[in-house]
């Protein structure tokens, strides 16, 4: 699960840089290829508001749900 810590308030988004820093750990914990985690991070990254306001951000809840679904879709390794 991607972490989101921000002044004791749950923020539904984290920075793209923060998500990328966590990608290798998430891939390892979930038993997924790093490339697959990175693709999902890109897929669940929102652009700047109105194209100019703020910074791109990763939608944490949606990304975590997608990671769960991707893991379930992987064939079991024996």
pLDDT digits (tens, 9 = 90+) for 50-74: 777 889 999 999 999 999 999 888 7
pTM of model > 0.85: no
Are 26 and 2 in contact, with CB atoms under 8 Å apart?
yes
Are 46 and 12 in contact, with CB atoms under 8 Å apart?
no
Buried b (16+ CB within 10 A) or exposed e, 16-31: bebbeebbeebbeebe
pLDDT value, residue 3: 54
pLDDT surpassing 80 at residue 44: yes
pLDDT surpassing 80 at residue 7: no
Count the neighbouring beta carbons within 10 Å of the beta carbon of residue 58: 25
pLDDT value, residue 10: 65
pLDDT surpassing 70 at residue 11: no
């Amino acid at each position: 699960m991607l972490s989101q810590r921000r002044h004791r308030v749950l923020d539904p988004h984290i920075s793209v840089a923060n998500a990328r820093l966590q990608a290798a750990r998430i891939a390892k914990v979930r038993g997924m290829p790093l490339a697959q985690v990175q693709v999902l991070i890109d897929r669940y990254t929102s652009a700047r508001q109105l194209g100019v306001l703020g910074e791109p951000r990763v939608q944490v809840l949606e990304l975590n749900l997608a990671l769960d679904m991707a893991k379930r879709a992987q064939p079991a390794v024996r």
